[in-house]
Amino acid sequence: MPIEQQSTASFEYVYLASQSPRRQELLQQLGIGFQLLPPEIDEDAEALEAELPGEAAAMYVRRVCLAKAEAAARRLARAGRTAAPILVADTTVALDRAILGKPADDDNAVAMLTRLSGRTHHVLTAVAVVPAAGTAEQTPITSTLSVSTVRFVALTHEQIVRYVASGEPRGKAGAYGVQGRAAEFIAHIEGSYSGIMGLPLFETAALVRAAGVAF
């Protein structure tokens, strides 16, 4: 979806509908003010992230991101907090036609990394911004997709087991973090490093500015 013309409204911050420390760090890097709008305890995030049969990775990550954006908008409305745009992102890893999300456990993480060893895969991050309620424009949710390519060197089983034991793969798509210990596994990157981390800065800055957030 194309990014809309910049809003005439001006907001000092965006609501970040994510608990990811990496996304918080990336927003701080851009100087974008934010307040956290994390999922509520009774929200079923796993249901939102469930794959549909035969779904391509690009369609999957866009659909999940927009579903999370709609859930975040309802959450903000229930909370009655000050109006401001909401920023949502979702990241997945694709190897051939397989979608590799967050590992269920350490064994699953080992299996994912074994599949990625010596191979080239794609990292897809969808970003969406929900316009602030009550703005004159009332534009629809805007979104964009960042796709990057990552090539892993061939890994030994011992390397994989040691990395998984560090705990870093937990909660990360594809069972690794590009900004952490897994950096030694990565022979080549093409695309957005910040997108691989979970929030492509170029695309995010454009969406947030278009929503009227000053930074």
Q: Tell whether the model's pLDDT for residue 7 goes beyond 60.
A: no
Instruction: Report pLDDT for 188.
Output: 98
Q: Tell whether the model's pLDDT for residue 40 goes beyond 90.
A: no
42 classed as catalytic? no
Asked if 197 and 22 count as a contact pair (C-beta separation under 8 A), the reply is: yes
User: What percentage of the chain reaches a pLDDT higher than 90?
Assistant: 83
- For CA atoms 1, 29, 8, 10, give the dihedral sign: positive
Q: What is the pLDDT of residues 79-133, one digit of tens each?
A: 989 999 999 999 999 999 999 999 999 999 999 999 999 999 999 999 999 999 8
Instruction: Report pLDDT for 129.
Output: 97
Instruction: Report pLDDT for 50.
Output: 87
Place of tokens 């990241």: 91
- 157-181 mean pLDDT: 97
Asked if 65 and 127 count as a contact pair (C-beta separation under 8 A), the reply is: yes
Mean pLDDT across the chain, nearest whole number?
Answer: 92
pLDDT band at 4 (very low <50, low <70, confident <90, very high): very low
**Nearby residues of 175 by Cβ (< 8 Å), 6 or more positions away:** 100, 102, 103, 108, 109, 112, 113, 116, 164, 169
pLDDT band at 8 (very low <50, low <70, confident <90, very high): low
Q: Tell whether the model's pLDDT for residue 35 goes beyond 80.
A: yes
pLDDT band at 1 (very low <50, low <70, confident <90, very high): very low
Q: What is the pLDDT of residues 41-65, one digit of tens each?
A: 777 777 788 899 999 999 999 999 9
DSSP state of 139: P
**Nearby residues of 156 by Cβ (< 8 Å), 6 or more positions away:** none
Pick the catalytic residue: 42, 90, 96, 107? 90
**Spacing of C-alpha 206 from chain mean position:** 16
Reported pTM: 0.90
pLDDT band at 140 (very low <50, low <70, confident <90, very high): confident
Q: What residue segments make up the domains of the chain, in order of their start?
A: 14-210
137 vs 199, which has greater pLDDT? Answer: 199
Instruction: Report pLDDT for 49.
Output: 86
Instruction: Tell me the fold of 14-210.
Output: Maf protein (3.90.950)
State how far the Cα of 173 lies from the Cα of 171, in Å rounded to an integer: 7
Burial class (CB in 10 A: 0-12, 13-18, 19+), 197: buried
Q: Tell whether the model's pLDDT for residue 134 goes beyond 90.
A: no
Instruction: Report pLDDT for 138.
Output: 53
Place of tokens 């979970």: 198
